[in-house]
Amino acid sequence: MEKILAQAFKNSLSYSQYRDLVSTLISEGKSTGNTQSEALLNYSELNETRMNRLEKTIQITDEVKSQLQSLQRNVTWLLLSEGWCGDAAQLVPIIHKMAEVSDKIDLKIVLRDENDALMNEFLTNGARAIPKLIMIDSVTNEVIGDWGPRPEPARKLIADYKATHGVVDEPAKIELQKWYLHDKGITTQNEIATLISEKVLV
């Protein structure tokens, strides 16, 4: 794991570098990732709009701010993402804003398709689901927790839909986006803050 993390750190981007990369690729008619298609480009363009909006509207709650500002040790948040991923577009800006709250948190973003070894260590039910947030002690490089790819109510929404309809189709994705819009990032903040408080406030 030490070698995998070292390689991921080497490949990592800051939030602003990630946003710039996705924007540049879109301007060239491309998406991030190993696969290129019109659909993935369209998703990337839609996600760009979503992220621009969320950067302006997402507010970190006072309770979560207090939890994050009470951290007792430095942690690195290593976040697996891709520009075409709808969940990532909703969640990465929230995670970025949370990291900004505390000088104990260093956020690094890596592209899933360029970091196979890391992704394979953090599969969700055998799937390469993103975004995936990995919390690491900045001094020891010990992995102390992980979160993702969705907050629990969103996970349940998709699981229930798939159980009923057998597929995750466009109507399911619309329902998921509606959930994110209504939730305003609160559940994501609370789940991540609770996890990191349990792992780091010791």
Residues 69-105 have pLDDT tens digits of 999 899 999 999 999 999 999 999 999 999 999 999 9
pLDDT tens digits for 148-169? 999 999 999 999 999 999 999 9
Tell me, what DSSP letter sits at residue 34? S
Domains in the chain, number: 1
* CA max distance for the chain: 48
Share above pLDDT 90 across residues of the chain, in percent, rounded to a whole number:
94
CATH number at residue 81: 3.40.30.10
- Model pTM above 0.75: yes
pLDDT of residue 58: 95
What confidence category does residue 197 fall into, taking pLDDT thresholds of 50, 70 and 90?
A: confident
pLDDT band at 199 (very low <50, low <70, confident <90, very high): confident
In degrees and rounded to multiples of 5, residue 47 shows phi and psi of -65, -35
The boundaries of the domain holding residue 101 are 2-200
Work out the number of other CB atoms within 10 angstroms of the CB of residue 56.
Answer: 8
Backbone φ and ψ of 84, nearest 5°: -90, -10
The beta-carbon contacts of 143-151 under 8 Å, at least 24 apart in sequence, are: 143/1, 143/5, 144/75, 144/199, 144/200, 145/195, 145/196, 145/198, 145/199, 146/122, 147/191, 147/192, 147/195, 148/80, 148/91, 148/124, 149/87, 149/124, 150/87, 150/91, 151/183, 151/187, 151/188, 151/191
pLDDT tens readout for residues 29-60: 999 999 999 999 999 999 999 999 999 999 99
Report the half-sphere exposure of 88 (CA within 13 A, side-chain side).
Answer: 26
